[in-house]
Structure 1
């Protein structure tokens, strides 16, 4: 029952690699918890007066409760095997690894598949009375730790070093016709990122050397800055950055934390790609012009 993202069909759910729903032997009766996650209110009572002063209301976990039924008419052994597959999603190695998450994917008609990051909390058979006939009703609980729904498709951009300063230095003789100033289509600029959702999306970033003291920023968003200093990456070395809440980290060459190389100005908690179009820029020192910045993200939405 495992599937790839391309294989998910309408009215199906991929629960940590096990697909249930339309066209499978696990039918879905209902799903509860698709709406707005509960809020963590920080309202404070107003001293000596009625009412409270509103603070920042933060979204909490999204608890999805799936009512389903395993149906394998006349084959109780197959029903029990399916139950074991579902139970294994709640007892995987993910539960023992701090920061690790499962993925729940849902596809609705007319919409692409979207995903939640969290953990399968429980898979409970409601009754085994009809298991002998190949029917086992189950309740599945998934805790979404990120309030956003992410698109299944990954978007990305790969950029050489920012050459905007060089573009402003004029022409170099001798001049030859025809004279051009590069592409005239602003949509083709290598630093353009488009988030088609309505929530900010947290990107994954890789800087590949050789490069010295790289700095990355999102234009028109002054807090969205990541700056490394001092840092020198040799040819073939890289820095990986994960910005998603709950899983933020920086590693060098895949080993150990390199977060200490970020300057005080850097804000992992502010480096999110806003809805719509954004311009991403970076600067550094690279005599070879072979250093690259690669940014990938999934468009984010408030709902399915």
Structure 2
């Protein structure tokens, strides 16, 4: 089951395979931080001896999402199990990794990668009667919200050009077809830039991933070889380069990282030091908003 599969209506959330909000025992009374702009951090140096400052970078900080909930109307025999479920899905592990939190509002589901950082279950006068309130809070180090469906495109290396004119010449002349393939297009329909993951599958030596529109390139050592059956994964957001899970960042010589712009697209060229028809480049990304 994929993240968000349990959601069928607005006002629902899914976390760790459990439905929250509308249609669940955990009725949403308030949701903070989901549609809000995260706290912004600015780098605006002061103007010496003058009012104001110079315009610097302005970047979004982490996103904090808080669900306030109400549990009532649950049969007394089931209330304890409902509370146990809530405690189970919000329990931290020793080294918790971010997991998908999916929310549907206004007919659209979006996803944030987050960790649960707070849980309250109020034990008050009517708790014994199957009534409680509380809150769950998540923190996402990446403030962007992503489409639930992952987008992808794939291309092989450009094929060598076909031979040119055959001799002796005969009319009409038939010219070679030129290079074929080696290009993919990634479209981001969201209002924030999205950083893709590139997967290079061997056999290939000295791969190059280039933004055809801007000229930015990711260039690997010309002798660096990815064998048949191996996959090199380049996460442009975290800036990691892994070959079958092993760090190969030192093989990346030119680091022209580039995102897919907001409400835009990029055309990407895939080339290498040598040609093999079995080599391929796959791009994976999600539409992003903030």
Coarse TM-score class (shorter-chain normalised)? 0.7 to 0.9
Which position in structure 2 is the counterpart of 1:55?
Answer: 56
Q: What is the CA-CA distance between 1:248 and the residue it aligns to? A: 3.5
Please say if 1:227 is aligned against 2:247: no
Going from structure 1 to structure 2, the CA distance change for 1:170 and 1:108 (only over 3 Å counts) comes to farther
- Secondary structure (helix, strand or coil) at the match of 2:88 reads helix
Contact 1:3 1:19 in 2 (8 A): no
Contact 1:157 1:190 in 2 (8 A): no
Aligned residues: 281
Contact 1:209 1:291 in 2 (8 A): yes
Which position in structure 1 is the counterpart of 2:287?
Answer: 299
- Secondary structure (helix, strand or coil) at the match of 1:166 reads coil
Please say if 1:23 is aligned against 2:23: yes
Going from structure 1 to structure 2, the CA distance change for 1:176 and 1:24 (only over 3 Å counts) comes to farther
When normalised by structure 2's length, the TM-score is: 0.86
Larger helix fraction of residues: 1
Which position in structure 2 is the counterpart of 1:42?
Answer: 43
Which position in structure 2 is the counterpart of 1:260?
Answer: 250
Which position in structure 2 is the counterpart of 1:185?
Answer: none
- Secondary structure (helix, strand or coil) at the match of 1:36 reads coil
Map 1:1-304 onto structure 2 (within 5 A): 4-10=3-9, 11-33=11-33, 34-75=35-76, 78-93=78-93, 96-97=95-96, 100-111=97-108, 113-163=109-159, 166=161, 191-223=184-216, 225-229=217-221, 230-244=223-237, 247-254=238-245, 256-263=246-253, 265-267=254-256, 270-274=257-261, 275-302=263-290
Going from structure 1 to structure 2, the CA distance change for 1:199 and 1:26 (only over 3 Å counts) comes to same
Instruction: State the alpha-carbon separation in 1 of the partners of residues 170 and 13 from structure 2.
Output: 61
Instruction: State the alpha-carbon separation in 1 of the partners of residues 288 and 171 from structure 2.
Output: 47
Contact 1:151 1:300 in 2 (8 A): yes
Going from structure 1 to structure 2, the CA distance change for 1:189 and 1:181 (only over 3 Å counts) comes to farther
Structure 1 residue runs of 5 or longer lacking an equivalent are: 183-187
Q: What is the CA-CA distance between 1:105 and the residue it aligns to? A: 0.5
Contact 1:3 1:18 in 2 (8 A): no
Going from structure 1 to structure 2, the CA distance change for 1:131 and 1:226 (only over 3 Å counts) comes to same
Structure 2 residue runs of 5 or longer lacking an equivalent are: none
- Secondary structure (helix, strand or coil) at the match of 1:82 reads helix
- Secondary structure (helix, strand or coil) at the match of 1:85 reads helix
- Secondary structure (helix, strand or coil) at the match of 1:191 reads strand
Contact 1:160 1:289 in 2 (8 A): yes
Q: What is the CA-CA distance between 1:90 and the residue it aligns to? A: 3.5
Instruction: State the alpha-carbon separation in 2 of the partners of residues 4 and 118 from structure 1.
Output: 13
